[in-house]
Amino acid sequence: MLKKRYIVIVLGVVSVLLGSLFVSNIILAQNGGSEYDPWLDYNDDGIIDVKDLSSLGQTYGTSGEPINKTALLLELLSRVEALEANFPVTTSNIADGNVTNVKLAAGAITYNTTSAKVFSNKNTETWEDFPYTSVTITLERTSELLILFSTNVQVFLKTTNVQWKALVNQTEASPGAVYLQPSWELFSSVSFNFYKSSIGAGTYTVKIQWYVYNGAARAYGRSLIVIALPA
């Protein structure tokens, strides 16, 4: 019985000495200029201290399949390189400016506009160009053209009506000619959205024409906006 007590006491003393030596070595390592090793910083707080020792102590004596950390990092690097090879982000791929550090690059969507605050009069039943409503637009790819038109019109007889259409290089845009009936005797705002589908790359002139039936019409102010969206 006495012998067992001595053994326990000796083991306790040895444990205390080893623990003291372990802590002393850590303190000496911290104060002796040893470099920080991130692999030993188990809680990733930038400091190797008693918290990391606690994590190590909780798993002391356990066993399992070891991990080759270097091989793991090389495998991850290989996967990243494979992704970059299949989906490269290179200068040549974004040279058109459609992908930048802003939400939308300047000129990413092709468009052109025109407007004027002038009077225009018409009293003939023929199609004529509506003055100051013509723009030129250059497309680098097949696109859908949106043609947005508005003006103010006045007619002098209740039976007079006005038709409008948009032309793209002399070809009618959809839906063709439309009636936009203004109010009698007073200026009223009229507008319509035309479109041209699947138009190929090239340079185009877009303009508005008008037709006056049974009387005369007077217009003041006008705007034309042409927007090209990828088809």
Domain presence at residue 132: yes
Please write the tens of the pLDDT for every residue from 84-124: 776 666 666 555 555 555 666 667 789 999 999 999 999 99
Can you give the residue range of the structural domain that contains 121? 111-230
- The reply to whether 128 falls in a domain is yes
The per-residue pLDDT for 96 is 57
In a shared domain, residues 223 and 122: yes
pLDDT tens digits, one per residue of 184-213: 778 888 999 999 999 999 999 999 999 999
For residue 75, tell me if it sits in a domain: no
For residues 52 and 122, membership in a common domain is answered with no
Report which of 179, 122, 172, 126 is spatially closest to residue 147, judged by C-alpha positions. Answer: 172
pLDDT band at 156 (very low <50, low <70, confident <90, very high): confident
Q: 121 and 198 in one domain?
A: yes
Q: How many domains does the chain fold into? A: 2
Together in a domain, 127 and 198: yes
Strands (E), the chain: 111-122, 128-139, 143-155, 161-168, 171-172, 178-179, 188-199, 202-213, 217-230
Higher pLDDT, 4 or 40: 40
What is the per-residue pLDDT for 207?
97
Is 72 contained in some domain?
A: no
pLDDT at 26: 52
Does a structural domain hold residue 224?
yes
Listed residues 59, 75, 97: the one ending a domain? 59
- In CATH, what number is assigned to the domain containing residue 119? 2.60.120.760
* Residue 13 pLDDT grade (very low, low, confident, very high; cuts 50, 70, 90): very low
Residue 130, token pair as written in the block: 């509506």
133 with 51, same domain?
no
Residues 123 and 198 in one domain: yes
Residues 115 and 203 in one domain: yes
Does 55 share its domain with 118?
Answer: no
In a shared domain, residues 47 and 129: no
Looking at the fold, whether 135 and 217 belong to one and the same domain comes out as yes
Same domain, 39 and 133: no
Q: Are 111 and 223 in contact (CB under 8 A)?
A: no
How much of the chain, in percent, has pLDDT values that exceed 90?
A: 42
Question: Do 168 and 145 contact (CB within 8 A), yes or no?
Answer: yes
